[in-house]
Amino acid sequence: MGTYTRTISVGTVIVFGLIFALTDARHTTWQALLPLFEWMETTPPGVISQTYGAAFALVEAAHLIAMAVLGGAVLVADGRLLGLILRDVPLSRVLDQSHRLFVWSLAAMILTGVFMACGVALKVYYLNVFWYKMLALGTGVFFVFFVRRPLLRGDVEKVNPQLLRLVGIASLMIWFSVAATGRWIGFSG
């Protein structure tokens, strides 16, 4: 059993996720987070965002560019995993280079995203879709760093091709959900 620690960890996260989603814990946690969101609006990023529309717009532009770069990194890596693009380039090379780009764009996306959320903290707090986006983003970060990267870091040619395709499809689904729910926030409230 000790040799299957990663599988057990993933299973535990899935079970806890289901318990959280299907019980009252979700609502209790949401209520407990209200003071944090009220405080976020009073922080310097919150005040700047609310006072200077241009500052918010600039940060939002950076957020969208970071999202575009991240989307590109995901499409290139998963497109290669699915055998759709760059078939003449070694898989490990495509994965390593796109992962580096992914990490930087993810950091930029989170940084600018927190800044923007501070400006509209109470608005997003009451939006269901904001929480779905956070769930998708959390799932994405967990999936990339705890599941996908450890699988693809070693000798990737030895991994079952069907599993590689499955991981590629799952990764595309996660980041599609992050992007779609993110845009949805802009059209809500």
Partner 1 sequence: MAEKNPADGNKDTALAALLAATAVIVGFIIYWSDEIQAVREMLELAYG
Site residues for partner 1, 115-134, by CB under 8 A, read 132
169 lines the binding site for partner 1 (CB under 8 A): yes
188 lines the binding site for partner 1 (CB under 8 A): no
Site residues for partner 1, 135-154, by CB under 8 A, read 139, 143, 146-148, 150-151, 154
* Contact indicator for 19, 25 with CB cutoff of 8 Å: yes
* Contact indicator for 152, 103 with CB cutoff of 8 Å: no
Q: How far is the CB of 150 from partner 1 (least distance, A)?
A: 5
166 lines the binding site for partner 1 (CB under 8 A): yes
* Contact indicator for 143, 166 with CB cutoff of 8 Å: no
User: With CB under 8 A as the contact rule, which of the stretches 50-58, 60-68, 79-87, 158-166 interacts with partner 1?
Assistant: 158-166
Of 17, 52, 175, nearest in space to 109 by CA: 175
4 lines the binding site for partner 1 (CB under 8 A): yes
85 lines the binding site for partner 1 (CB under 8 A): no
160 lines the binding site for partner 1 (CB under 8 A): yes
Q: Give the 3-state DSSP-derived string for 9-40, with helices as H, strands as E and coil as C.
A: HHHHHHHHHHHHHHCCHHHHHHHHCHHHHHHH
19 lines the binding site for partner 1 (CB under 8 A): no
Distance separating alpha carbons of residues 3 and 6, to the nearest angstrom: 8
